A and B are shown apart, each in its own frame.
Chain A
């Protein structure tokens, strides 16, 4: 058990809809990362938050947004959903020191299916 909790485990919705994925990081971890994993694109880094502030941005679409709350949990919001957004979405956390060479601890993901 990594200590990172993601909800829900599965999500099925339709094109054009909006969903929110939730992540609770490991106790004591300040950094939260979001990733998208699909068969054709592999594991894509989306965004990182550190102690409530955006720290790094990867290949995140404008239709997607995220935030990290004061209690350090994070949410990833996906809107105007398209068929191509169907994927596994992972959250990971780390201690997130300034010189961040610490490993990340991954949740088991949310499987998003767009019909």
Chain B
């Protein structure tokens, strides 16, 4: 069965510093991996995805994520955090042999001015 873990409930980063939001996954087949962001009282917004190919994926708002097959991780990163990046971030995984998608529990990112 597939699963995804976001080990940190909350991450605090000073504005201008690099940020990392962690995600690890488990699937039987090949993973499709996604990051979404949720702002208050809104639905989730797609940030980026990894399907195949280059392990470093670039997405919206300057975010990127690195796929690491050996560590089964897909950490979200940004070189320089903005206060407006403060939100709830979800990692999601889909097994390419299964239609179900599993979301992590979310990590709340606080960017401190």
- Asked if A48 is at the interface of the complex by the 8 Å CB criterion, the answer is yes
Contact of B32 among A42, A45, A101 (CB under 8 A): A101
Contact of B96 among A43, A101, A108, A109 (CB under 8 A): A101
Interface readout for A18-35 with B: 1 if CB under 8 Å, 0 if not?
Answer: 000000000000000101
Q: For chains A and B in complex, what number of residue pairs have CB atoms within 8 angstroms?
A: 54
Q: Which residue on chain A has the smallest CB distance to residue B42?
A: A108
Please indicate the chain A residues that have their CB under 8 angstroms from the CB of B34 in the complex.
Answer: 103
A56–B100 touching, CB < 8 Å = yes
Please indicate the chain A residues that have their CB under 8 angstroms from the CB of B44 in the complex.
Answer: 43, 90, 92, 104, 106
A56–B99 touching, CB < 8 Å = yes
Contact of A101 among B45, B90, B94 (CB under 8 A): B94
A103–B46 touching, CB < 8 Å = yes
Is the interface on chain A under 10, 10 to 19, 20 to 34, or 35 or more residues? Answer: 20 to 34
Q: How far is the CA of A106 from the CA of B100 in the complex (A)?
A: 16
Q: How far is the CB of B61 from chain A (nearest CB, A)?
A: 15
Among A43, A56, A106, chain B packs the most CB atoms within 10 A around the CB of A43
Q: How far is the CB of A8 from chain B (nearest CB, A)?
A: 14
Please indicate the chain A residues that have their CB under 8 angstroms from the CB of B36 in the complex.
Answer: 106
Is the interface on chain B under 10, 10 to 19, 20 to 34, or 35 or more residues? Answer: 20 to 34
By a beta-carbon cutoff of 8 Å, the part of chain A in contact with chain B is: 2, 4, 33, 35, 42-43, 45, 48, 55-58, 90, 92, 99-101, 103-109
B residues 84-100 with Cβ under 8 Å of A? 90, 94, 96, 98-100
Q: How far is the CB of B99 from chain A (nearest CB, A)?
A: 4
A99–B43 touching, CB < 8 Å = no
Please indicate the chain B residues that have their CB under 8 angstroms from the CB of A108 in the complex.
Answer: 41-43
Please indicate the chain A residues that have their CB under 8 angstroms from the CB of B49 in the complex.
Answer: 101, 103
Please indicate the chain A residues that have their CB under 8 angstroms from the CB of B100 in the complex.
Answer: 45, 56-58
- Asked if B105 is at the interface of the complex by the 8 Å CB criterion, the answer is yes
Q: How far is the CA of A55 from the CA of B51 in the complex (A)?
A: 21
A90–B106 touching, CB < 8 Å = no
Contact of B105 among A35, A42, A101 (CB under 8 A): A42
Please indicate the chain A residues that have their CB under 8 angstroms from the CB of B98 in the complex.
Answer: 56
Please indicate the chain B residues that have their CB under 8 angstroms from the CB of A43 in the complex.
Answer: 44, 90, 103, 105-106
